[in-house]
């Protein structure tokens, strides 16, 4: 079905143009005209693929999520067959922070999405589902690390998962240039060192 593939490819090209616009200017005042211009097509052509701003934003968010998962997967593949859970959590967490152009665009779209969710039930449900999905993935790694004695058995997996996700608050510190990327990575590393230092295999 070459035609369908073309259609999907064109939609992805437009979504990537949207990422670039969001990375440069944020998603708040985003217009379809800006995205069409960045994609090098007319507004009419863009509207052939996406009927509304909301539809394009949803597609771009989904694609960004898939690409993030792929990047985490590639990072982990480089760590051998059974990567250490500390490395897995680090890769997941770092990918959520605006530390490179693609992650920055995803992070900015997500932030705009969360604000939009406050007055749109459909967006709220969609954003919540996506976050619950990511949360479950982190919790699974934490639970396994506790079961394997790499994180102390008295740590609560739910609390540890929530604290790890809460560290995405570094986003604002990065976006406002209050903390340098290197300092954020150093803080994340210290945090993970302490989490795993409490493991049975590494008694305090």
Contacts with its own copies, residue ranges (CB under 8 A): 24-29, 108, 111-112, 114-119, 124, 127-128, 131-132, 135, 156, 158-159, 162-163, 165-173, 175-179, 183-184, 186-187, 190-191, 194, 204
DSSP per residue over 87-155, as a string?
Answer: HHHHHHHHHHSS-SHHHHHHHHHHHHHHHHHTT-HHHHHHHHHHHHHHHHHHHHHHHHHHHTTSS-TTS
Minimum distance from CB of 166 to its own copies (Å)?
4
Nearer to its own copies, 17 or 49 (CB): 17
77 vs 136, beta carbon nearer its own copies? 136
Long-range (24+ apart) CB contacts under 8 A made by 196-201 are 196/85, 196/86, 196/145, 196/150, 196/151, 198/151, 198/152, 198/155, 199/145, 199/149, 199/150, 199/151, 199/152, 200/149, 200/150, 200/152, 200/153, 201/149, 201/150
Q: Which helix (H) or strand (E) holds 63?
A: helix 53-77
In the bound state with its own copies, the residue whose beta carbon lies nearer, of 46 and 116, is 116
Of 40 and 169, which CB lies nearer to its own copies in the complex structure? 169
Q: Which is nearer to its own copies, 9 or 180 (CB)?
A: 180
**Least CB distance to its own copies at residue 191 (A):** 6
């Amino acid at each position: 079905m070459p035609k369908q593939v073309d259609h999907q490819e064109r939609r992805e090209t437009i979504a990537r143009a949207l990422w670039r616009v969001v990375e440069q200017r944020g998603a708040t005042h985003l217009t379809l005209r800006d995205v069409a211009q960045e994609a090098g097509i007319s507004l009419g052509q863009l509207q052939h693929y996406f009927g509304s701003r909301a539809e394009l934003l949803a597609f771009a968010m989904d694609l960004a999520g898939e690409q993030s998962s792929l990047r985490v997967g590639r990072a982990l593949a480089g760590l051998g067959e059974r990567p250490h859970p500390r490395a897995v959590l680090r890769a997941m967490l770092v990918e959520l922070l605006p530390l490179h152009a693609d992650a920055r665009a995803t992070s900015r779209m997500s932030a705009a999405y969360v604000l939009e969710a406050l007055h749109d039930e459909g967006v709220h449900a969609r954003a919540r589902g996506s976050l619950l999905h990511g949360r479950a993935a982190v919790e699974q790694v934490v639970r396994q690390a506790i079961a394997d004695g790499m994180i102390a058995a008295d740590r609560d997996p739910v609390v540890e998962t929530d604290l790890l996700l809460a560290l995405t608050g570094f986003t604002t510190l990065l976006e406002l240039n209050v903390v340098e990327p290197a300092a954020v990575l150093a803080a994340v590393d210290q945090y993970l060192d302490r989490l795993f230092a409490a493991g049975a295999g590494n008694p305090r």
